[in-house]
Chains A and B, each alone.
Chain A
Amino acid sequence: MAAHRCRYLACLLLLFLSVILVTMSQETTLGHEQHELVIRPLHSGDIYASFQFRTVWETDFMKGNKVSHYRLFPKSLGQVISKFSVRELHISFTQGYWRTMQWGQPFIPSPPGAELWVWFQDSVTDVDATWKELTNVLSGIFCASLNFIDSTNTLQPSASFKPLGIGNGTTDHRFLRYATLPREIVCTENLTPWKKLLPCGSKAGLAVLLKSEKLFHSSFHSQSVHIRPVCQDRQCKSSSWELRQALNVVFDLHTSGQSKREWSLFKMFSRTLTEACPLASSSKIYIDVTDNPQEEQFELSPATPLLSQAVVLGDRRTFSVYDLTQQVTFGTVRSLNLMIRWKSSEGDMLRPLLHAERYVTGYGLQTGEIHTLMYNNHPFRSFPVLLLDSVPWYLRLYIHTLKVISKGKDNNPSYIHYQPSKDRERPHLLEMLLQLPPHSVTEVTVQFERALLKWTEYTPDPNHGFYVGSSVISSLVPSTVAMETNITMEQPLFSSFFPCKEESSYFARVYTEPLLVNLPTPDFSMPYNVICLTCTVVAVGYGSLYNLLTRSFQVEEPNPGLAKRIANVIRRMRGVPPL
């Protein structure tokens, strides 16, 4: 059994272990800076804009020398990395849910709410204490409630989250911590510190477009920070730090466009571009024109002669490129306001190769069932997925009811990692490696029982329900074109986030919806009512017992009648002796 399991683990590691990501750098010690905006008209008619800002810092944290002089790299994050011996840090804040069915795959996926995963260096002795301190510091830096991350929502996934940068050998998941806060609301106060990390702030370059009143008036908003070590050169003798800040936003043009299907930079962001950030070595805008080779769908103005092709998410896409470092891009008016006018009104529905959904069934407040559905839309190829489910302790999973069914038959997972919860200490963790048959739906169901919380453990609005974080589905999806594995080639940022090892498939991560589950909720004035009621009962019982014990009982003279008493009162007033 053990040997069996080992083989699976080895297989897993082979599958999901990320390869060395080599990044060529042109400049010397100062580090360099790349800015990029990708705009993709979506099939649903929405617009997907994805900003990426990448800072590379040629210094070696790993070798333990204390680095404290910062140039392009923000000091606050640098201090965090060196103080907490972080090897890799990924944090994302997302408002809204990415609709894979309508929008396809995002360049950098993220679940609703806040997500944080960190690989620590193997020199860290007390990982849990460091993690606790780190979340507190990060919550200060990003003005978010990351301080609510504690042992009850922290996981140590064994296979789903492998380091994305270069690793120095170990991928021991003892040094990994993963947590999500699905309840977290993302707003301006999170955007401002995020913008502050950019070397040009929001003063120049692409970042001037990041106006919060427009960004948060959208269907989907996600901002993230990814720090990882990358190679400095092909030989990878020395490493450097890469900081990627990504911001993805989907604008709903039907509601904001006054029923006209056209948009411009100014309409989306209420700004136009006039210059690139002078610190950036490259600053480009890519517009996805793959579906529009002859301008039959939309018209792009100003037109650009620059076209580039890139393989991204298993597909070869064509982009119109605007290089902001060239003065000619801004034309005679010295300002760039990109515009798209649609010609056709409807696009057809997308069928992404992999997507997933999740929901809760059952009635009443005692038991329920979680259903996770994973769709493989590839017509003839099956591919493996890793499902990571984390369920809070107050939903008690009945793991014996776990069922995986595809095409009406049992689908035995080749690897299961299950860690039962401990009340008030840690959540359930369920990881499974599954093979999705071609053109199928795979359904994972598991039953649970709802626990009764202590009255201080309820949130301020308990009748709203309790969130359960998204499931994470990591997968190697078959690619329709040969993926770029030549890692030394200069690639645009949006296609180089997940390292790619083989030509025939690409790595994709899909998040399901978070769940909202109702727990049995008491009436919260109850404790005091109970105190009052029991006290009254006790007092009544005690009182009668007391009376019984202490009073002496005597036969009493019968009461004089009412008429006699009144007569006596009158007689007393008259001064006559009573009857």
Chain B
Amino acid sequence: IPALQTRRRGQLAALSIAAVVIVVGVPLWWRTTETYRAWLPFSQIKDLSKLQLHLSADVEVVFARGTLTPEQQKKLPLTQTQDEEHAVDENTVLRYTHEIKYRTATIMEEEALGKPTAAEADLSLHMLSESPCGSSVVYVIPEVSSLLPENVKVYIGQRRTAILRINAEMRAGKTVEQLLAVLKPQIKQVLQVMSFSHTDITAALSDRVRFNPGSKESMTHSMRAFTSSPGYEITFSLLNPDPRSHRLHWDIEGAVQTYIQPFLTKLSPLANFSIDSQMLHYAMLGVNPRYNNDRGAFILHADSLAHVINPVEARLGSNAASSNPVLNFLLYVPDAQHSPLYIQDHKKMDVPSNAFHSPRWGGIMVYNVKNLYGPEAEFPVNININMAEVMGVFLTQLRLLVGMESSPPPPGFLVAPCGSVGLADWELDRLMWSRSVENIATATTTITSLAQLLDQIGNIVINDNIAQQVSSAVTSVQLAVAELEAGNLGFALQYSKETILASEKAFFDPSLLHLLYFPDDQKFAIYIPLFLPMCVPILLSLLKMASEARRRYREKQAKKD
């Protein structure tokens, strides 16, 4: 009996030790070695992976005097909605809505449309009322109007207005519905130019949706522009490889003020731009241009242009003060021994601007000065660079790199020249549409991949500030999507910029890396010497007890039988 009692006591002791280890030890160990992971809105992030973008824009169609019969005027509907839906891939759906409002022209507008030229009419219509960002106005004028030249059907102004001429046969003896049906494709065509177009928006989604590469042309086209960023640094560099013969002077301050600054001021809702310039001496191109005897000039062929940039880039210097992408514009004045220098394209024709651009990098222009001085000139020659010529080229390149394409307008369209600012209002709108969509697409991919990463790797610490950034990014995405749907382009862009900032900040936060590389084998090396000798006796005695209990149970069963 005492033997049985001591046995019983031993079992109780083993059980209580096991209980203490399980109740106190394991939770304690778990709590002290846990990595801190703040709560993330995983369900909302999951919703983001399915993106339904709804873009809507207001369009006003204004009928001038003489385009509608009084009867038609009476029956003119107030609004009409045009809807389009595209499924880009299984997770992304695009919907475009144009809210078209019809009305007849006011007296003041009639007066403005009576101006002798379209440009003047455009200006005075703009003075009458300023249409909000993202919207557009189409004025329908009768064929008798002398506003547009003979073969021009549509004039697209510098602001957000277009003037559309309709033919007499289009409206003769028709009901309003028929007339509008005839007008509809034309208005759609105008909106394709002035407002968002499907190609633009799908191109902006490239970060999210993987398209099968189309033609080489469209590839280079989509790769040209810089991706959306909250800021850009523009650097103008004057490369003088031969300061011994040429002493160059350029009035870059004045040129930037005159040519570049108005353009950037107009672009300021999109991003912040900062400009600087530098002069680099003894900076050579990476290739030796070939001398062409017939021309008496040096030729840089298009094939070798790819090798020009790298050696120069080392001299340009990175931007120390910010991490925004840099747009480089280089003005290269060839040295006296290698002048003049011309760039030839693939067809062996001279490039008229003597300049080329490199996608997402910048542009280089070669500026020949050989003809500015005679052979008897005394070195070094003082040379003043004609900044109007240079800045014209750089501004064109800047437009391309920022993402403004100058695809030819459809036949019958006349697009007003972009004027001193270098940018029409509707061009800015187009850019804002595609940038908002691009920002939303990038931010959603960033957030979802971050959430995926955090989900997969349990070792990553998630601090409160990261959780906060992620939450604010998610809220901003939702707001941006809602604003796009409501047609408030300005707010949509603002929110999309906020979301991209917040999501990038969360994604690249260094605190995510702290414990990422704490390998499991080291952990076990530390745990085993403590845990193995402690746990083995507990486990063994528990097993022993269990087997004993089973044996007793069986004996009981046998007795019962």
Checking B278, B322, B541 against A75 with a beta-carbon cut-off of 8 angstroms, the contacting residue is B278
1/0 per residue A537-565: CB within 8 Å of B?
01110110011011111100000000000
- Expressed in whole angstroms, the Cα–Cα distance for A137 and B17 within the complex equals 59
Task: Name the CB-closest residue of B to A83.
Answer: B321
Q: How far is the CB of B464 from chain A (nearest CB, A)?
A: 21
The answer to whether A278 and B319 touch across the interface, beta carbons within 8 angstroms, is no
Checking B10, B17, B243, B278 against A552 with a beta-carbon cut-off of 8 angstroms, the contacting residue is B10
Given contacts A68-B275, A539-B529, A543-B533, contact A549 B281 (CB under 8 A): no
Asked if B6 is at the interface of the complex by the 8 Å CB criterion, the answer is yes
Tell which of A97-105, A198-206, A465-473, A482-490 binds the partner.
A198-206
- Expressed in whole angstroms, the Cα–Cα distance for A539 and B531 within the complex equals 9
Task: Name the CB-closest residue of B to A201.
Answer: B282
Q: How far is the CB of B256 from chain A (nearest CB, A)?
A: 8
Identify which of residues 243-284 in chain A touch chain B, using a CB-to-CB cut-off of 8 Å: 275, 278-279
Task: Name the CB-closest residue of B to A68.
Answer: B276
Asked if B368 is at the interface of the complex by the 8 Å CB criterion, the answer is no
Q: Which of B7, B9, B10, B252 has the most CB of A within 10 A?
A: B10
Asked if A402 is at the interface of the complex by the 8 Å CB criterion, the answer is no
Asked if B380 is at the interface of the complex by the 8 Å CB criterion, the answer is yes
Interface residues on A, range: 35 or more
Q: How far is the CB of A303 from chain B (nearest CB, A)?
A: 28
Task: Name the CB-closest residue of A to B238.
Answer: A71
Asked if B127 is at the interface of the complex by the 8 Å CB criterion, the answer is no
Q: Which residues of B contact A71 (CB under 8 A)?
A: 278-279
- Expressed in whole angstroms, the Cα–Cα distance for A550 and B526 within the complex equals 28
Asked if A504 is at the interface of the complex by the 8 Å CB criterion, the answer is no
Tell which of A215-223, A309-317, A528-536 binds the partner.
A528-536
1/0 per residue A64-86: CB within 8 Å of B?
00001111101110011011000
The answer to whether B282 and A203 touch across the interface, beta carbons within 8 angstroms, is yes
Asked if B317 is at the interface of the complex by the 8 Å CB criterion, the answer is yes
Identify which of residues 1-47 in chain B touch chain A, using a CB-to-CB cut-off of 8 Å: 3, 6-7, 9-11, 13-14, 17
Checking B7, B9, B11, B530 against A539 with a beta-carbon cut-off of 8 angstroms, the contacting residue is B530
Q: Which residues of B contact A203 (CB under 8 A)?
A: 281-282
- Expressed in whole angstroms, the Cα–Cα distance for A536 and B319 within the complex equals 57
1/0 per residue A322-339: CB within 8 Å of B?
000000000000000000
Q: Which residues of B contact A549 (CB under 8 A)?
A: 10, 13-14, 17
Q: How far is the CB of B273 from chain A (nearest CB, A)?
A: 11
Asked if A196 is at the interface of the complex by the 8 Å CB criterion, the answer is yes
The answer to whether A278 and B244 touch across the interface, beta carbons within 8 angstroms, is yes
Asked if B320 is at the interface of the complex by the 8 Å CB criterion, the answer is yes
Task: Name the CB-closest residue of B to A71.
Answer: B279
- Expressed in whole angstroms, the Cα–Cα distance for A199 and B7 within the complex equals 93
Q: How far is the CB of A359 from chain B (nearest CB, A)?
A: 40
Q: Which residues of A contact B472 (CB under 8 A)?
A: none
Asked if B274 is at the interface of the complex by the 8 Å CB criterion, the answer is yes
Given contacts A76-B317, A200-B281, A543-B537, contact A535 B380 (CB under 8 A): no
- Expressed in whole angstroms, the Cα–Cα distance for A554 and B6 within the complex equals 10
Asked if B277 is at the interface of the complex by the 8 Å CB criterion, the answer is yes
Task: Name the CB-closest residue of A to B4.
Answer: A552
Q: Which residues of B contact A550 (CB under 8 A)?
A: 10-11, 13-14, 17, 537, 541
The answer to whether B529 and A200 touch across the interface, beta carbons within 8 angstroms, is no
Q: Which residues of A contact B223 (CB under 8 A)?
A: none
Asked if B525 is at the interface of the complex by the 8 Å CB criterion, the answer is yes
Q: How far is the CB of A142 from chain B (nearest CB, A)?
A: 11
Task: Name the CB-closest residue of B to A66.
Answer: B274
- Expressed in whole angstroms, the Cα–Cα distance for A203 and B320 within the complex equals 24
How many A-B residue pairs lie within 8 Å, measured between CB atoms? 107
Q: Which residues of A contact B7 (CB under 8 A)?
A: 552
Task: Name the CB-closest residue of A to B13.
Answer: A549
Asked if B520 is at the interface of the complex by the 8 Å CB criterion, the answer is no
Task: Name the CB-closest residue of B to A532.
Answer: B529
Asked if B534 is at the interface of the complex by the 8 Å CB criterion, the answer is yes
Q: Which of A76, A196, A543, A554 has the most CB of B within 10 A?
A: A76
Asked if A140 is at the interface of the complex by the 8 Å CB criterion, the answer is yes
The answer to whether B320 and A76 touch across the interface, beta carbons within 8 angstroms, is yes
Q: Which of A82, A543, A547, A550 has the most CB of B within 10 A?
A: A550
Task: Name the CB-closest residue of A to B241.
Answer: A203
The answer to whether B534 and A539 touch across the interface, beta carbons within 8 angstroms, is yes
Asked if A15 is at the interface of the complex by the 8 Å CB criterion, the answer is no
- Expressed in whole angstroms, the Cα–Cα distance for A547 and B10 within the complex equals 9
- Expressed in whole angstroms, the Cα–Cα distance for A165 and B253 within the complex equals 28
Asked if A141 is at the interface of the complex by the 8 Å CB criterion, the answer is yes
Q: Which of A201, A275, A278, A536 has the most CB of B within 10 A?
A: A278
The answer to whether B276 and A69 touch across the interface, beta carbons within 8 angstroms, is yes
Identify which of residues 514-553 in chain B touch chain A, using a CB-to-CB cut-off of 8 Å: 525-526, 529-530, 532-534, 537-538, 541
The answer to whether A75 and B533 touch across the interface, beta carbons within 8 angstroms, is no
Asked if B315 is at the interface of the complex by the 8 Å CB criterion, the answer is yes
Checking A196, A528, A543 against B525 with a beta-carbon cut-off of 8 angstroms, the contacting residue is A528
Q: How far is the CB of A194 from chain B (nearest CB, A)?
A: 13
Q: Which of B243, B282, B319 has the most CB of A within 10 A?
A: B282
The answer to whether A79 and B6 touch across the interface, beta carbons within 8 angstroms, is no
- Expressed in whole angstroms, the Cα–Cα distance for A528 and B253 within the complex equals 65
- Expressed in whole angstroms, the Cα–Cα distance for A543 and B7 within the complex equals 18
Q: Which residues of A contact B278 (CB under 8 A)?
A: 69-71, 74-75
The answer to whether A538 and B530 touch across the interface, beta carbons within 8 angstroms, is yes
Q: How far is the CB of B278 from chain A (nearest CB, A)?
A: 4
Q: Which of A528, A535, A547 has the most CB of B within 10 A?
A: A535
- Expressed in whole angstroms, the Cα–Cα distance for A206 and B274 within the complex equals 35
Q: Which residues of A contact B10 (CB under 8 A)?
A: 549-552
Q: How far is the CB of A193 from chain B (nearest CB, A)?
A: 9
The answer to whether B533 and A72 touch across the interface, beta carbons within 8 angstroms, is no
Checking A70, A80, A82 against B279 with a beta-carbon cut-off of 8 angstroms, the contacting residue is A70
The answer to whether B244 and A542 touch across the interface, beta carbons within 8 angstroms, is no
Q: Which residues of A contact B3 (CB under 8 A)?
A: 552, 554
- Expressed in whole angstroms, the Cα–Cα distance for A540 and B537 within the complex equals 12
1/0 per residue A398-430: CB within 8 Å of B?
000000000000000000000000000000000
Q: Which residues of B contact A538 (CB under 8 A)?
A: 530, 534
Identify which of residues 243-291 in chain B touch chain A, using a CB-to-CB cut-off of 8 Å: 243-244, 252-253, 274-279, 281-282
The answer to whether A546 and B537 touch across the interface, beta carbons within 8 angstroms, is yes
The answer to whether B537 and A200 touch across the interface, beta carbons within 8 angstroms, is no
Identify which of residues 314-366 in chain B touch chain A, using a CB-to-CB cut-off of 8 Å: 315, 317-322
Given contacts A279-B243, A550-B14, A552-B6, contact A140 B533 (CB under 8 A): no
The answer to whether B281 and A201 touch across the interface, beta carbons within 8 angstroms, is yes
The answer to whether A75 and B275 touch across the interface, beta carbons within 8 angstroms, is no
Task: Name the CB-closest residue of B to A133.
Answer: B321
Checking A69, A82, A204 against B282 with a beta-carbon cut-off of 8 angstroms, the contacting residue is A204
Task: Name the CB-closest residue of A to B10.
Answer: A550
Q: Which residues of B contact A69 (CB under 8 A)?
A: 252-253, 276-278
Q: How far is the CB of A407 from chain B (nearest CB, A)?
A: 52
Q: Which residues of B contact A536 (CB under 8 A)?
A: 529, 533
Checking A80, A141, A199 against B281 with a beta-carbon cut-off of 8 angstroms, the contacting residue is A199
Given contacts A550-B14, A552-B3, contact A79 B321 (CB under 8 A): yes
Q: Which of B3, B9, B279, B541 has the most CB of A within 10 A?
A: B279
- Expressed in whole angstroms, the Cα–Cα distance for A543 and B532 within the complex equals 11
1/0 per residue A159-173: CB within 8 Å of B?
000000000000000
Task: Name the CB-closest residue of A to B8.
Answer: A552
12 example contacts (A-B, Cβ-Cβ < 8 A) are as follows A70-B277, A79-B320, A199-B281, A201-B282, A538-B530, A543-B537, A546-B17, A546-B538, A547-B537, A550-B11, A550-B13, A552-B7
The 6 closest A-B pairs by CB, nearest first: A539-B533, A68-B276, A535-B529, A552-B6, A83-B321, A203-B282
Q: Beyond A74-B317, A278-B380: 11 further Cβ-contacts under 8 Å?
A: A68-B275, A68-B276, A70-B276, A70-B279, A196-B315, A200-B281, A279-B281, A528-B526, A535-B533, A538-B534, A547-B537
B residues with CB within 8 A of A: 3, 6-7, 9-11, 13-14, 17, 235, 243-244, 252-253, 274-279, 281-282, 315, 317-322, 380, 525-526, 529-530, 532-534, 537-538, 541
